[in-house]
Amino acid sequence: MNAVISRFQPFELSNDVDYQSWRAWKLAGYPRRAEQLLVPVRDPQRLSAAEHAAILGHCRKANMAIYQVTGARAAGKPAIRGLGRQFGLESLDMNLRADEDSITTITVMPESTGTHYIPYTNKALNWHTDGYYNPPQEQVRAIVMHCAAEADRGGDNLFLDPEIAYILLRDENPGFIRALMQPDVMTIPANVEQGREIRAAQSGPVFSLEKSSHALHMRYTARSRSIVWKGDAIARNAVEFLRELLDGDSPWLIRHRLQAGQGIICNNVLHKREAFADHGARKRVLYRARYHERIHATVAGADCYGERICSG
């Protein structure tokens, strides 16, 4: 008999054994508060081994970590880029509003600049994953978002790990997962500005698995306009379940207000932003880098099981 390596596949609906063992590991000691995800770092461009291990540990467990720069030097865009590189994050996503270096500065823009996108206002931003309108080959799998200056009031973020959303949906009804994995379950219509199409319509699944690693990826927006959900009953019920989860007071939602010098590094977890107010000319400023890669070594099972060897 030859020994063959079979990859751990907790997200395959047909594999309940892997799912149940991964689920037990995932939920045991899962962080419930943002403080449990916080890692002080002296210099984000040159993490110590302990700082790196702490961030990676949180990302493996919860797909996100919050870091706090304790060194004297304020972290700018090069520091954000440098931080990402230490976790295998290289390929920056180009988006319509990114600055020339592909890292976006998120702050309130004067209306005279003509932008009407909610991220550049002080309004609340509803639940989403970043780049849900991107084509399949340009999915945003990781984000680093750094707060250079906080709002005077408000601007809290709420986060939900997509793997927790997956568990809650699958436990409720495995058919929900099947429905949300359909390749045409969610369609974002084309983006047309002043009669010109600047982004084509984009259909895709909510949950998908990366081909090589079987990592879970989620694509979602809570917006109710300019979105077309597939009309089958189970898909509609799954979307409604997800909406109620996100709009409720589930203990799995993690709230945090990023302070100046803090940031989040994550595998594009679900997030929302509450409305905020700036104090005069002192504006809330965030730098956001979006990547096509996932944080290195954060595939489900990488630390709890790895590849299993079985006899064939």
What residues make contact with Fe ion under the rule CB under 5 A? 130
Residue count (the chain):
312
Least Å from the CB of residue 35 to Fe ion: 22
Least Å from the CB of residue 234 to Fe ion: 28
Q: Which is closer to Fe ion, CB of 47 or CB of 66?
A: 66
For residue 164, give the DSSP letter.
H
Distances (CA, A) of 42 to 68, 74, 89, 130, 186: 8, 11, 20, 28, 42
Helices (H), the chain: 16-27, 49-62, 77-85, 162-172, 174-180, 233-247
Least Å from the CB of residue 264 to Fe ion: 10
Q: Which is closer to Fe ion, CB of 130 or CB of 278?
A: 130
Q: Which is closer to Fe ion, CB of 10 or CB of 131?
A: 131
Least Å from the CB of residue 23 to Fe ion: 27
Least Å from the CB of residue 286 to Fe ion: 10
3-class secondary-structure state, position 67: strand
The residue among 91, 98, 100 whose CA lies nearest residue 140 is 91
Least Å from the CB of residue 119 to Fe ion: 7
CA dist., res. 289 & res. 143, Å (int): 6
Q: Which is closer to Fe ion, CB of 18 or CB of 93?
A: 93
**Could you tell me if 305 and 22 are in contact, meaning their C-beta atoms sit under 8 angstroms apart?**
yes
Task: For strands 3-6 and 308-311, give the pairing.
Answer: antiparallel
Task: For strands 207-209 and 104-106, give the pairing.
Answer: unpaired
Q: Which is closer to Fe ion, CB of 255 or CB of 279?
A: 255
The residue among 134, 103, 107 whose CA lies nearest residue 120 is 107
Q: Which residue is nearest to Fe ion (CB)?
A: 130
Cβ neighbourhood burial of 70 (10 Å; 0-12, 13-18, 19+): exposed
**Could you tell me if 233 and 30 are in contact, meaning their C-beta atoms sit under 8 angstroms apart?**
no
Least Å from the CB of residue 167 to Fe ion: 22
Q: Which is closer to Fe ion, CB of 9 or CB of 267?
A: 267
Q: Which is closer to Fe ion, CB of 36 or CB of 95?
A: 95
3-class secondary-structure state, position 40: strand
- Amino acid letter at 97? R
Least Å from the CB of residue 161 to Fe ion: 15
Q: Which is closer to Fe ion, CB of 131 or CB of 301?
A: 131
